[in-house]
Amino acid sequence: MGKRALYSSSRPAMPAQTAQAATPRVLPPAGAATAGSGGPSRLPPPDAGRWAHLRAWAGRHERWGLVLAGALLGLALMLLQDTWRDPLGRLTQDDIDKAVLHTLANKPLPSMAAKAYEKIRPSVVRVRGLSLPNAQGQQREIGTGTGVVIVDEGLILTNLHVVMGAPRLQVVFDDGHEADADVVAAQPENDLAVIKPRSLPDDLVPATLRSTGDLTVGDAVVAVGFPFGIGPTATAGVVSGLDREFRSPEGERILTNLIQFDAAANPGSSGGPLVTADGEVVGIVTAILNPTEHRVFVGIGFAVPIENAAAAVGLSPF
């Protein structure tokens, strides 16, 4: 009878190589010593190399990094400024018009006459004719008129009848400076005289002269002077006519090529400037037409054109 085969329930032994491959590898815990090492070892964090590289790059480019940071900060501020702006948006033309109207309603602009007066005022002087001294050495005023400085050396235009016959002349400037003056030229046919003060203020301002070539009837004008010794006084009107003639009340003199105007003028206004809306001199006030015996203004005044007046000084400004 044959032997029955016996089978073992245990697994057969595996070859050494196969057993080694099948055994899983277990990493030692952190801080555990490994074979052949002198002590514990840590594994670097996964991103350590990347951060080290970035730190090194930042160290090499620190200056440019600051510039970039400043630029980003400025951009952020600009964006915030846009955010903080008036939520109503940009100004429109209607907004501007309303603002201008509001300003004009609450603070009106100066008038034409006011601007012209302020422009010419520093150049206007009062001309006084004084008597000879009496026993006490006192002098009295025997006449008054107006003059206008037209040259920065101090030459003053006025009317001949203002200075004629006065033993002594005195001028009073806008700043209050007073000085004796002498007649240096005369033009009787235009009732003009040129006087020169013996001393001048420090801030003398000569007037600006303007040709009458483009002057027309209806143009606004301002007369500045010392009517009846009061002033300086400004009166406004318009050019009433051109190329007019005037005969003096005594019939001694006929003046021609005159500017007729209706700005009020009275005794004492003679020799004063007639100026445009820009404060530029176009004539020298010389006479008023009065059909009565009273020396008062009735609406018609005359001025010598500045071209004639400048010729009396030897100027040709046009």
Number of structural domains found in the chain: 1
89 in a structural domain:
no
48-60 helix and 62-84 helix, angle to the nearest 10 degrees: 90
Annotated catalytic residues are 161, 191, 270
SS3 196: strand
CA atoms within 13 A on the CB side of 212: 24
Q: Which residues pair with 233 in a beta bridge?
A: 225
Does pTM top 0.95 for this prediction?
no
DSSP string, 60-121: HTHHHHHHHHHHHHHHHHHHHHHHHS-TT-SPPHHHHHHHHHHHHHHSPPPPHHHHHHHHHG
Lookup result for tokens 């007073």: 178
pLDDT in tens, the chain (318 residues): 444 444 444 444 454 444 444 445 544 454 444 444 444 555 555 555 666 666 666 666 666 667 677 777 777 777 666 555 555 557 788 877 777 777 767 777 788 999 999 999 999 999 999 988 888 888 888 889 999 999 888 999 999 999 998 999 999 999 999 999 999 988 888 899 999 999 999 889 999 999 999 999 999 999 999 999 998 999 999 999 999 998 876 656 788 999 999 999 999 999 999 999 999 999 999 999 887 777 778 889 999 999 987 776 666 544
In a domain, 70, yes or no: no
Q: Which letter does DSSP use for residue 153 in this model?
A: T
- Of the candidates 215, 228, 207, the residue with the CA atom closest to the CA atom of residue 279: 207
53 is a domain residue: no
Residue 51 lies in a domain: no
CATH number at residue 146: 2.40.10.120
Domain that holds residue 179: 119-313
292 in any annotated domain:
yes
- Within-domain flag for 111: no
Q: How far apart are CA 156 and CA 200, in angstroms?
A: 11
Question: Is 103 a member of any domain?
Answer: no
